[in-house]
Amino acid sequence: MIIQAEGANVTRRTAGGGRPGPPTVLSLFSGALGLDLGFESAGFRVAAAVESNRWAAATIRRNRPGLALLDRKIEDVATSELLDAAGLQPGEPTVVTAGPSCQAFSTAGHRRSLDDPRGTLFRQFCRVVVEAQPRFFVMENVRGVLSAAIRHRPLAQRGPGHPQLDPEELHGSAFRLILRELSELGYHVVFDLVDAADYGAGQRRHRLVFVGSRDGEPVRVPARTHAENATDGRLPWLTLKEALAGLGDPDPVGVPLSDLRRGILALVPPGGNWRDLPEDLQKEALGKAYVSWGGRTGFYRRLDWDRPAPALTTNPASKATMVAHPEENRVLTVREYARLQGFPDDWQFEGGPAEQYVQIGNAVPIAIGAAVGAALRKVMRRRSGTDPELRGVVACQDPELLRRVNARPRTILNPQRMREDGTLSAARRWMSQHEPREQLHIPVVDQLR
């Protein structure tokens, strides 16, 4: 089925983005303004921002002292107050940007999905869109959204000996709900999973991007400009060496490693991690994680000059999420971190080193915002018309992504050695109790008129 609104009961103004001057942005969950700096580079003006984190709000004030900033939780901000701060009326904002808190959907840590208050913040974004009626919206999140469940059941409570999963506990149930609620906004929505390296960033960082059009304009997630193997006119990925070239950092700020961790890191080659350590040292390096499962690629990870960096974490000094220099036995500095995210070299971050790493690690690479902003400017310049029939239609940009979403297992289980009954036959019997998951039937962009 095509996810489509029955008909949005909203009042629209056709002037969206039509005021004199640069097109305007209302920024929600702004962080250190990573996504919005990308929009600024594409010619947009950030008219107002909402950010409740103390240090991120201080960073915005330091670098954009004239920006109207509402430093409270989005739940406590009325849309009318946000519009007043921006000097706009409903229907006049060009775009609402948002990156709702992603911890509830992240594959790292404890996933609680929509059962976690942080997982419902996208509904606050939806509220602002309905009430502000921007011409466009852009929402981004982690790729873990694709497999998130509405209610998360811990791995230790799945499999033989445990009750079967409820539909809301199946992988992808939260994503389906998000798509349904986005369709109810009455916007035409296109989504895709993008990699920041494909837009010229110096790191591999995947983000799920949703672009919406109020009037049914033909919005698209922007085409990739870079590739690992440059073909079809695209440029090669930016390497770490290229990304950090010319960076002046006379007074580097960072988090020191302990003598133990520095000693272990000294044995890891460029581009390596804990797996490159001598076998007798691997258990000491990982501790309790040695008997866990998964790739654990972040443990004692050292970067490679000739490759893009991996996705930056919020704690580069943790042994599990380490982001270490290719040659020196230290983690990347705050300024090196900021350069890889695309922040200007003179952008100042408030708080201590730990707070600065969190702000940078949580940011959307500026290259992604710049590419999406430029794509929207092209739509605005082309004046290619609107299609009312597209309002409420949600489409996927990439048919391969849609295929992978539909092929994803309904759930995953702990390894056999960690289950009470670790036999394969018991696991198959438990899995067979669950009804086959309904396929996600939505159009891909090429199928739209």
pLDDT for position 110 = 43
Nearest to 211 by CA among 227, 194, 188: 188
Query: Which residues are registered as beta bridge partners of 396?
Result: 191, 444
- Give the C-alpha separation, 271 to 326, whole Å: 7
pLDDT for position 19 = 59
Looking up tokens 């979403």 gives 405
Q: How many CB atoms lie within 10 A of CB 354?
A: 12
pLDDT in tens, the chain (449 residues): 333 333 333 333 444 545 578 999 999 999 999 999 999 999 999 999 999 999 999 999 999 999 999 999 999 999 999 999 999 999 999 999 998 864 444 444 444 444 554 447 888 999 999 999 999 999 999 998 898 888 888 888 888 888 888 888 888 888 998 999 999 999 999 999 999 999 999 999 999 999 999 999 999 999 999 999 888 889 999 999 999 999 988 889 999 999 999 999 999 999 999 899 998 898 888 887 776 766 688 889 999 999 999 999 999 999 999 999 999 999 999 999 999 999 999 999 999 999 999 999 999 999 999 999 999 999 999 876 788 999 999 999 999 999 999 988 888 877 777 777 778 888 888 888 877 767 888 999 988 86
pLDDT for position 162 = 87
Nearest to 343 by CA among 357, 323, 329: 357
Same fold, 24-236+365-447 and 240-362: no
User: What radius of gyration, in Å, describes the C-alpha atoms of the chain?
Assistant: 23
Nearest to 201 by CA among 227, 232, 236, 237: 237
- Give the C-alpha separation, 202 to 107, whole Å: 22
- Give the C-alpha separation, 180 to 393, whole Å: 10
283-298: pLDDT as tens digits: 888 887 776 766 688 8
According to CATH, the topology of domain 240-362 is DNA Methylase; Chain A, domain 2 (3.90.120)
The amino acid present at 279, given as its one-letter code, is: E
Nearest to 312 by CA among 342, 346, 278: 342
In contact, 327 and 319? CB cutoff 8 Å: no
Looking up tokens 């409570």 gives 157
In contact, 99 and 31? CB cutoff 8 Å: yes
Strand 24-28 with 226-227, pairing: unpaired
How many residues are recorded in the chain? 449
- Give the C-alpha separation, 337 to 316, whole Å: 9
- Active site (annotated) includes residue 102: yes
pLDDT for position 113 = 45
- Give the C-alpha separation, 193 to 207, whole Å: 6
Looking up tokens 């594959």 gives 107
This prediction's pTM: 0.90
The amino acid present at 360, given as its one-letter code, is: I
Q: How many CB atoms lie within 10 A of CB 12?
A: 15
pLDDT for position 44 = 98
Query: Residue 102 — φ and ψ, nearest 5°?
Result: -105, 0
Classified as helix, coil or strand, 190 is strand
Of 42, 102, 240, 394, the active-site residue reads: 102
Looking up tokens 């400017």 gives 377
In contact, 125 and 100? CB cutoff 8 Å: yes
pLDDT for position 123 = 86
Nearest to 341 by CA among 322, 314, 321, 318: 314
- CATH of segment(s) 24-236+365-447: 3.40.50.150
DSSP state of 385: -
The dihedral through the CA atoms of 320, 326, 330, 333 has a sign that is negative
pLDDT for position 294 = 63
Residue 349: HSE in the Cβ half-sphere, 13 Å Cα cutoff: 31
Domain spans in the chain, listed from the N-terminal domain onward: 24-236+365-447, 240-362
